[in-house]
Chains A and B, each alone.
Chain A
Amino acid sequence: MSTQKIILVIVIMALCTYLPRMLPLALFRKKIKNQYISSLLCYLPYGILAAMVFPDIFSSTASVISGITGTAVALVLAYKRRGLLPVAVSACAAVFITERILALMGIL
């Protein structure tokens, strides 16, 4: 791809990323009075984030086994209300340790 076309693609990508984020925020300033819609918008983040995490989290590491270990650690610590950073770091550590063990066992 030529330099000019790459720049054009990047500009188009930036617009196609920015506009869906910007239009609802800029145009929709009123508080929603409809109870169903406002409830839906309250639940929506949880539904979207949950679908984003599962099942992709299991394939986010080098092996499904380490993915499951990391997920389990994250779930337990999140349930205990640990903060975002401790949960993320602990999950990474769990994945790292599991993958070293798997490598020793010759599975990975």
Chain B
Amino acid sequence: MLTFRKGFKDGLPIALGYISVSFAFGMLAVEKGLPLWSPILLSISNFTGTGQFAGIDLISSNAGLYEVIFTILVINIRYMLMSLSLSQRLDKDISVLQRMVISFGNTDEIFGVCIRQKEPLTMRYMMGIILCSYSGWNAGTVLGVLVSSALPVMIRTALGIALYAMFIAIIIPPARDSKPVMKVVLLSVLLSCIFRFVPVIQRLGSGWIIIICGVISAGLGAYFFPLALGDTGADAQDDREAHK
């Protein structure tokens, strides 16, 4: 059952990962000379990683408003695809107003964990996972602002890999069980690595590169390995439970 409790529990690893990232965010903002309240306000109102880090640069370099709009939209355009994908997984009883609340919490990590669920996602589950993660995100920011350099550098650099490792834990098991998913993943990794080193394309920035890689690999996957309607593409998503 996708209860509030289950959502909150699934949100714990996200919250832990978030604390380290938003901690770094809070510290960096203070180091760059932003007023202490601004990173906290950013975390409360934005709840996003890349965009907020870019925001620190935009504010400290006194960027123009159009530059802010363009930069943040480019970084966030992939969420349109992720929201569209998530919309297919939500329980049909969830109202438009509830969807508007859920979408505030559609971060990369929450999205990643949600797509592992086989059942339609309930409002209670979404509230649990979002509240838990959101708390971690804001707690980390406040701590980062307050303590600034209490955490030794050696521990901070080790935490840098936490969220990436979590993504690996999300994509590898389904890729292991489904050859098409594995091919989509490998193609996307290959494209992404190539694009980061191709002179013209690398200037697009990571936001666009991620979208291009995702759309090309998933587009080819859908063309060569069409799924039956209602199939989620990965059938062995429940194995995680066996290891608890």
Q: Which one of A44, A66, A74, A77 lies within 8 Å of B215 (CB-CB)?
A: A44
A50→B192 contact, CB < 8 A? yes
Chain A residues with CB under 8 A of B176: 79, 81
Chain B interface size, as a band, is 35 or more
A25→B45 contact, CB < 8 A? no
B104→A21 contact, CB < 8 A? yes
Q: A21-B106, A38-B88 are in contact. Are A48 and B210 (CB under 8 A)?
A: yes
Chain B residues with CB under 8 A of A41: 84-85, 88, 218
Cα A77 to Cα B157 in complex, Å, equals 21
B227→A42 contact, CB < 8 A? yes
Q: Which one of A11, A29, A66, A81 lies within 8 Å of B173 (CB-CB)?
A: A81
Give the A-B contact count at a CB cut-off of 8 A: 319
Chain A interface size, as a band, is 35 or more
A83→B243 contact, CB < 8 A? yes
B42→A13 contact, CB < 8 A? yes
Cα A54 to Cα B171 in complex, Å, equals 12
B169→A88 contact, CB < 8 A? yes
Cα A53 to Cα B109 in complex, Å, equals 12
Q: Does A101 contact B (CB under 8 A)?
A: no
Q: Does B47 contact A (CB under 8 A)?
A: yes
Chain A residues with CB under 8 A of B231: 42
Task: Tell me if A's interface is mostly helix, strand, loop or mixed.
Answer: helix
A83→B167 contact, CB < 8 A? no
Cα A56 to Cα B213 in complex, Å, equals 14
Q: Which one of A9, A70, A83, A93 lies within 8 Å of B55 (CB-CB)?
A: A9
Q: Which one of A14, A48, A79 lies within 8 Å of B82 (CB-CB)?
A: A48
Cα A99 to Cα B227 in complex, Å, equals 44
A13→B46 contact, CB < 8 A? yes
Chain A residues with CB under 8 A of B38: 6, 10
A3→B51 contact, CB < 8 A? no
Q: Does B142 contact A (CB under 8 A)?
A: no
B184→A46 contact, CB < 8 A? yes
**A–B Cβ pairs within 8 angstroms, 18 of them:** A13-B46, A16-B76, A25-B90, A26-B103, A29-B87, A41-B218, A42-B85, A42-B222, A44-B85, A46-B171, A47-B185, A50-B188, A62-B157, A71-B164, A81-B242, A88-B17, A89-B162, A96-B154
Q: Report which A residues bind B (CB closer than 8 A).
A: 1, 3, 6-14, 16-18, 20-26, 28-29, 31-33, 35-57, 60-62, 66-67, 70-71, 73-75, 77-79, 81-85, 87-93, 95-96, 99-100, 103
